[in-house]
Structure 1
């Protein structure tokens, strides 16, 4: 399933990520992401897949056109998303586990 610019914008707002963060995760420029969200350009199929993957990693779930219109919703509630983002930003070295 491909996503539209307005769906991407709605997903970004739902996961509460700024445009520059989503652009960095998806490999798009901020200008290209803005133009796609506003329906002015299509950045290409590969870029849209990267964008969708980035937004889904934040908890967005894209809904196919089902007669009532395409859409987007959250997989997690807002508190869960904030906790995930906080944990992802903790950083630190990755260790080996010899178990």
Structure 2
């Protein structure tokens, strides 16, 4: 899937991060990211790859394109998944849960 300015903008909104946070994680200048998102300049393949990895780090998953076009969704990151797994069994041994 091609990383477009609108996908990057939507990914930031979904992850609730600003350009500074995404640029720092991707190793890009904020102005470079802003110019890409605003459609004023393009990024080379290496920068796009770093940008995609940074977006995925913040918990956004790219969905394969369909007839409706490409998509995004928010997923749990590794830290959140670990926390969820730690909650299993917090209430003790499960009992019978049939409601009379």
What is the TM-score normalised by the length of structure 2?
A: 0.70
Match of 1:91 in 2: none
Distance 1:63 1:4 in 2: 14
Residue by residue, what CA displacement relative to the aligned partner does 1:42-76 show, whole Å, maximum 9, x if unpaired? 11111011001001011101123211111211113
For structure 1, the residue ranges without an aligned partner over 5 or more in a row are 85-99
Secondary structure of 1:64's counterpart equals strand
Structure number with the higher strand fraction is: 2
Q: Is the 8 A contact 1:2 1:49 kept in 2?
A: no
Distance 1:3 1:64 in 2: 12
Q: Is the 8 A contact 1:63 1:71 kept in 2?
A: yes
For structure 2, the residue ranges without an aligned partner over 5 or more in a row are 81-100
Let me know the Cα RMSD of the aligned residues: 1.9
Runs of 4+ aligned residues of structure 1 deviating over 4 Å after TM superposition are: none
Query: How do 1:17-96 and structure 2 match up within 5 A?
Result: 17-76=17-76
Secondary structure of 2:66's counterpart equals coil
Tell me the number of residue pairs that the alignment of Structure 1 and Structure 2 aligns.
80
Q: Which moved more, 1:34-43 or 1:16-25?
A: 34-43
What is the TM-score normalised by the length of structure 1?
A: 0.71
